[in-house]
Amino acid sequence: MLRKPYEKAANETINTGFGAKTEQSSDRIFDTKGKATVKKTGLSFIESHSLYHTLVELSWRQFYLIIFTSYLIINLIFAFIYYFLGREAVEMVLTNDSNLSFFSECFFFSTQTLTTVGYGHISPNSFWASLVASIEAIIGVLILAVATGLLYSRFVRPQSFVKFSNNLLVTPHKGIFALMFRMAPYKNTQLSEAEIFVSMVLKVEENGVMVNKYYKLETEISKISTFILSWTIVHPINENSPIYGFDLEDLQDDKMELIIHLKAFDDTYSNIVVKNYSYTFQDIVHGAKFVPMFTSNANGNATILDFTKLHQFEIVM
């Protein structure tokens, strides 16, 4: 008879921050990017979203797209204002008298005013045009300050540049089986005092109710002084493991999810960085081991860390 994990209360982790009842939580706590699967309702869009956090966490492509799109839209708005104020309101030298030429000059006058460049060959020639230009100039100064601050924040924001293996392996290890996954830092950073916390979530029936049970998984090594190469995390499935005596069908029935929390000190940032990751039953490969991903170079004076092998494994049984 299999020993079910909810009979081993001594290994249970209580203070997880996640709900216990399965009908009140999602099937997966973290997505594949390490983000918690929590959606907030009962709030307005403005209340539930921080503009600063949203812009800082966007990808670089999305960030630049928003910046340039906003820049274009603002200049188009002011260009239309100058255009409708009329030719007598803006003093400029036109190559021809077409409306398109006039609008294009209004647009470029707007870009020069917004960025406070002011080349001088175009200038407001009425009270209303001067007022609009003054308003646009102060808006441009504020936008430039905000954009510069966001750009700086994105550069200096501490991030843990760590990749995880795609699969969670069940591997023969020291006469027993062990759960293993692998991770490695992929940027030119120096991580030290790296510490990992691994917990497992199982959905089990307790007193006729399906509940989430959380268990801390002990690892052979939970802290290393320097994290510059790949690090394989090993959880021995022995008598002290909450899944001792389980087979793959049990893990599938209990909708197992492995939650990883990594914390390390980044010497470049001079700050602590964190990284979350998650594996589910679908990620398990039984009877396999990872292929070594680092070796010395030809001269023997450096170590080659090959990230093409991060996810590679071989079947051993």
Q: Which pLDDT tens digit goes with each residue over 180-218? A: 999 999 998 889 999 999 998 888 777 777 788 888 999
Residue 94 has a pLDDT of: 65
Residue 1 has a pLDDT of: 30
Q: What is the pTM of this model?
A: 0.75
- Nearest one of 296, 226, 283 to 256, comparing CA atoms: 283
- List of domains in the chain: 5-39+159-315 (2.60.40.1400), 51-156 (1.10.287.70)
Residue 231 has a pLDDT of: 94
Average pLDDT of the residues in 258-285: 91
CA distances 78 to 73, 132, 137, 140, Å, are: 9, 8, 11, 12
Structure tokens, 68: 């340039």
Q: What is the rounded average pLDDT for all residues in the chain? A: 85
For residue 191, give the DSSP letter: E
Residue 272 has a pLDDT of: 93
Average pLDDT of the residues in 121-137: 88
Q: Is the pLDDT confidence value at 8 over 50?
A: no
Q: Are 256 and 200 in contact (CB under 8 A)?
A: yes
Q: Is the pLDDT confidence value at 69 over 90?
A: yes
Q: Is the pLDDT confidence value at 246 over 90?
A: no
- Nearest one of 257, 265, 127 to 191, comparing CA atoms: 265
Q: Is the pLDDT confidence value at 243 over 50?
A: yes
Residue 287 to residue 316: CA distance in whole angstroms: 6
